[in-house]
Amino acid sequence: MRLKLGTLTLALAAGGALPALAQTCTPTAITPYIYVNGAWAQTASANVKTGDSAIFGPQPVSGGMWSWSGCGTAGASREQTISPAAACTATATYTNSCGAKSTQTFSIKVGTWASAKFGGGGYVTGLIFHPTTQNLLYARTDVGGAYRWDASTSSWLPITDGFTASEGFHHGVESIALDPNNDQRVYMVTGMYASADATARLYISSNRGNSWTSVNLPFSAGGNNLGRAIGERLSVDPNNPSILFYASRTAGLWKSTDSGATWAQTPLSATKMTQDQINNLGGQVMGVEQLIFDTSTKGSGSPTWILWATIAPDYASAAGLSANLYKSVNGGATWTPVTTPVPGYHIPHVVRTSDGAFYVLFTKGAGPGDAGPARLYKFDGSNWTLLRSIDYAGYGGISVSGTGSTARIALGVSGTWGDYSGKQVVQLSDNGGQTWREIEAGMAGQTASGWVDDVEIDPSNRDHVLHVHGGGIVETRNASSATPTWNATINGIEETCTLGLRTPPAGAPYIFLNSSGDVGTWVHTNLATAPTRSPYKDWNSGNSADMAWSDPTYIAAGGVVNSSNTAVGTGWWSGDGGQSWATFATLPAGAATKTSEASNLAVTARNQVVWAPADSVPSYTTNNGASWTATNLPALAVQNGVPRSYRLVADRRNPNKVYAYDSGGAWWTYTQAKVYVSTDGGHNFTLSQGSVAANMRFAPWGSSSMAVNPNVEGDLWVADGLAVYHSVDSGASWTKLNNFTATWNGRNDWLGPEVAGASIVALGKPKAGSTYTAAVYVVGVVNGVWGMYRSDDGGVSWVRHNDDAHQYAGVGVMAADQNAYGRIYVGGTCRGVLYSN
């Protein structure tokens, strides 16, 4: 029979049941995952190396059906493996159990980002081994993020390259802690400089640093302050790993009981240092230095009750604490001072061995490279035994393998420089500190001294000893030998801070010029090997370098020679592509003393250079530096230490044209940015009234730039910090591009944006068949997404050139290749030079 109920017809079979009435069916949200470069990541976009594969693995895992299109996907499997030859987009459709559909788009780019080899170049401040998982090792740096050791390739993998441009401050890593019960879990506290403000951040990973979540912390950190190798300041309770402690620089000891989600100050002290107190200490405060759990067990589920905290002299004074060591027997609820044999000293590192013994370093200064005096004591909870002392150097690091009279102790000696008889770098004892021998100074291989502020014995191989230094990490794998061999272990670590990049014309005998802080100027001829061509290989900084476009074997470079007393600006030139160098016979006014990174120069032809020292009137030479003559550019007002200069660029098609861009100096200056043009090789300049009419934004040196199209005369581009401007008539008139918009995030006009809308512009080899004569690259924000963007049609349309995995905590400099389309060279936040294919 058939029954009609309103508009609903129900067919009833004999003995059958009525079907359910229709109900609302809600689509199920899809969570995107991609397996790429050896790890799963929760993301909908990825960059796949040419020839490699990736796996799409969206969730939910069960309960519905999947269908796919694009990127070579097929069938109904939830996981789809692809090997794309070119960029592609895939769409996953999920039909849940009630029939509702939801879709997720995946974007894949094909190519690579890689580091141009230099090797190290910066201070690695700490090495953190997992206590039980073999070869699981992390390295933290003061300004260049963090790394994880990959034993399969004998190289370090960067684990903070996904940090965005707004996270540059957090590329300074102050401490890392590992969960001894879960080798996937990593905690990392970041923040470049300590202050009275709450600027530190905790990053949490459940997959060894392949991806992170973060929590803002109620105190600051100082990853690039003095004493940055002290600790580890962050610690995980081995018995109850949801409990974390942090020894802060300015606000005492903090505790979390929910795996870092929330924090409370412990009763050790309620003191939070004011900014005036911090300033009176030169901005360098050490605070509470370390928290040690007094336990030999793990995973019990109960908190570790007995704790020890080390206190720096500055915080002890500010908080009214009477000792540099405190003890708690109730999980940090109350604390009592402990008398130590060296009061008033720093305690940079403490090691507790499984027999309950403590090995405690005392050193007078905070480091790095403390000059001592220093002492090493063994402590049994009641009694102190002196094991080692030194009066002309500091003790920076200690590691212990084993216990008692057979314990192997590696002791890092800091502040010993040069080569001399009796020098100490790493002292080793194999009998619990009764006798010692030197295992590094004077030994074969690559050794390093000075900032030996963390030393580690591999917990799975006691012959493997490593330590940090100002240029990276060195290791020996035969520490038991009478003459151990040492080698640098920095493959994959790139921590130079790039200040300037220039690419030559196609066919030049080198790839690019690299000007970097602390390591100087280098000519790169091979991306896979460390450069060897440099005008000065001792401690110096390179600010700027340029080449003659018509004769790129002529190179001029400006930089700073550093010493213990002062920094002196200088300049060099090479006539053979950097194979040999000479200093300029004279320097332009201001070059020797005005040495900030804003100092820059432009080469118009062989022997002809225009140089703009910071805060100075630019000068030019026509005789290779034998003499210099001031240009007619107006002097720039000095702005309270903010780096400022004219940014100089030579027209590559007409070397008589030189452009000078004054960005205004700072976000808060309200000084109009403007462009000047020279038609006589940079001798005399005329203000571009078109740039005045364009109303370019005033912006800091590092948030603005200018570049020329090397293929067309008078084709000029400016990124003023907020937007991009383009001139095709040598700066007479300008067109503003409206593609880029800054991220303000509540900041006011005086402070400037959180992320600049457009900070760098560079031009390189055009795409074949494109409508414009160069590929244009801009670092900026499009539709709320920061990135490196490329246009092949003169700025009409833009595509993102990087992805979320390759952001490098922001990009400060960029140059585009003239030989290979799609290749740019960038300097991330102290991540060396990286390039795209």
Residue 207 has pLDDT above 60, yes or no: yes
Nearest to 131 by CA among 334, 297, 316: 297
The rounded Cα 500 to chain-centroid distance in angstroms is 17
**Closest by CA position to 220, among listed 202, 238, 208:** 202
What's the rounded mean pLDDT across residues 209-226? 97
Of 78-87, 139-148, 265-274, 506-515, the one with minimum mean pLDDT is 78-87
SS3 of residue 428 by DSSP: strand
Is the CB of residue 101 less than 8 Å from the CB of residue 95?
Answer: yes
Is the pLDDT assigned to residue 2 strictly greater than 80?
Answer: no
CA-CA distance, 307 to 381, in Å (whole number)? 11
Q: What are phi and psi of 317, to 5 degrees?
A: -70, -45
In this prediction, residue 19 has a pLDDT band, given cuts at 50, 70 and 90, of: very low
Q: What percent of the chain has pLDDT over 70?
A: 97
Report how far residue 601's alpha carbon sits from residue 590's, in angstroms, rounded to the nearest whole number.
13
- What is the per-residue pLDDT across 437-490, written as a single tens digit (0 to 9) for each? 999 999 999 999 999 999 999 999 999 999 999 999 999 999 999 999 999 999
Neighbours of 213 (CB within 10 A): 11
Tell which residue, 254, 257, 263, 262, has the closest CA to residue 288.
Answer: 254
Give the pLDDT band of residue 108 (cuts 50, 70, 90).
Answer: confident
Task: State residue 578's pLDDT score.
Answer: 98
Q: Which whole number is the average pLDDT over 110-124?
A: 92
Q: Which residues pair with 542 in a beta bridge?
A: 559
Give the pair of three-digit tokens for residue 277.
């107190």
What one-letter code names the amino acid at 700? P
Q: How far is CA 438 from CA 348, 410, 411, in A?
A: 21, 10, 10
User: Mapping DSSP to helix (H, G, I), strand (E, B) and coil, where does residue 603 land?
Assistant: strand
Distance CA 347, CA 340 (A): 11
Categorize the per-residue pLDDT at 567 as very low, low, confident or very high, splitting at 50, 70 and 90. confident
**What average pLDDT does the segment 738-749 reach?**
91
Q: What is the mean pLDDT of residues 382-401?
A: 98
pLDDT score, position 392: 96
Q: Which segment of 61-65, 138-142, 497-501, 523-527 scores lowest on mean pLDDT?
A: 61-65
263/252 Cα distance (integer angstroms): 12
3-state secondary structure 144-181: CCEEEEECCCCEEEECCCCCCHHHHHHHCEEEEEECCC
Q: Would you state the pLDDT for residue 340?
A: 98
What pairs with residue 377 in β-bridges? Answer: 360, 386
Cβ atoms < 10 Å from Cβ of 103? 12
In the predicted model, is pLDDT for residue 15 greater than 50?
Answer: no
Q: Measured between alpha carbons, how far is 66 from 59 in angstroms, rounded to an integer?
A: 10
User: Which residues, including other chains, have CB under 8 Å from residue 565's CB and lie 6 or more apart?
Assistant: none
pLDDT band for position 8 (50/70/90)? very low
- Whether 18 has a pLDDT exceeding 60, the answer reads no
Alpha carbons 417 and 384: distance in angstroms, whole number: 31
Q: Are 239 and 297 in contact (CB under 8 A)?
A: yes
- For every residue of 342-407, DSSP letters joined together read STTSB---EEE-TTS-EEEEEESS--SS----EEEEEE-SS-EEEEEEESSSEEEEEEEES-GGG-
Strand 658-662 relative to strand 647-650, pairing: antiparallel
Secondary structure (DSSP) of 769-800:
T-SSSSEEEEEEEETTEEEEEEESSTTSS-EE
Beta-bridge partner residues of 556: 546, 573
Is the pLDDT at 405 greater than 70? The verdict is yes
3-state SS of 643-701 is CCCCEEEECCCCCCCEEEEECEECCCCCCCCEEEEECCCCCCCEECHHHHHHCCCCEEH
Q: What is the DSSP letter of 303?
A: P
- For residue 486, the cross-strand partners are 445, 476
What pLDDT is attached to residue 522?
A: 98
Q: Dump pLDDT digits (tens) for 154-190.
A: 999 999 999 999 999 999 999 999 999 999 999 999 9
d(CA 435, CA 429): 6
Q: Which residues contact 387 (CB under 8 A, 6 or more apart)?
A: 359, 376, 377, 378, 409, 429, 433
- Residue 50 banded pLDDT, cuts 50, 70, 90: low
Q: Please report the pLDDT score of residue 6 as a whole number.
A: 37
Q: Is the pLDDT of residue 5 over 70?
A: no
Summarize pLDDT for 802-816 with one digit per residue, the tens: 988 899 999 999 999
From residue 477, alpha-carbon distances to 309, 459, 487, 493 in Å are: 33, 13, 9, 20
Paired sense of beta strands 394-401 and 384-390, if any: unpaired
Contact criterion met (CB below 8 Å) for 312 and 345: no
Check whether 9 has a pLDDT greater than 80.
Answer: no
pTM here is 0.89
* Mean confidence (pLDDT) of the chain: 94
C-alpha distance from residue 682 to each of 106, 197, 598, 625, 674 (Å): 50, 46, 18, 15, 16
Classify strands 45-48 and 101-110 as parallel, antiparallel or unpaired: parallel
Ramachandran angles phi, psi of 171, nearest 5° = -80, -5
Burial annotation 197-210 (CB, 10 A radius, 16+ → b, else e)? eebbbbbbbeebbb
Give 691-721 pLDDT, tens digit per residue. 999 999 999 999 999 999 999 999 999 999 9
In DSSP terms, 524 is beta-bridged to: 512
Residue 518, number of CB atoms within 10 A of its CB:
19
* CB-based contact 194:278 (threshold 8 Å): yes
pLDDT at res. 670:
80
- Tell me: pLDDT of 12 over 60: no
pLDDT higher than 50, residue 633 = yes
Separation between Cα atoms, residue 41 and residue 32, nearest integer Å: 9
Which amino acid, residue 411? L
DSSP letters along 456-497, please?
Answer: EE-TT-TT-EEEEETTEEEEES-TTSSS--EEE--TT-B--E
- Helix (H, G, I), strand (E, B), or coil: what is residue 566? coil
